Amino acid sequence: MSALLYLIPIAVLLGLLGLGAFLWALKTGQFDDLDGAASRILFDDDPPESKDS
C-alpha cells in the first residue's frame, strides 16, 4: 500500500499537466475557431511569399 504514497501524487501531477496544457491552448486561441481548424490541415503550408516571422 505504501506505493500509493508516490503513485497518487504522480497520477494527480500528470492530470494537472494535462489540465495546464488545455488551459494554455485555450488561452492562446486554439479553441476560437473549431470549424476552421478542422480544415486547416488541408491548406497549402507555404503561402506564395512566406511571411512567417
Query: Look-up: residue for cell 500509493?
Result: 4
Tell the smallest beta-carbon distance from residue 13 to another protein (Å). Answer: 10
Q: Which residues between 9 and 28 bind another protein (CB under 8 A)? A: 11-12, 15-16, 18-19, 22-23, 26
Cα 3 to chain centroid distance, Å, stands at 30
Contact status, residue 26 vs residue 20, Cβ threshold 8 Å = no
How many Å apart are CA 16 and CA 19, to the nearest integer?
A: 5
Where along the sequence are the contacts to another protein (CB under 8 A)?
1, 4, 8, 11-12, 15-16, 18-19, 22-23, 26, 31-36, 38-40, 42-44, 47-49, 51, 53
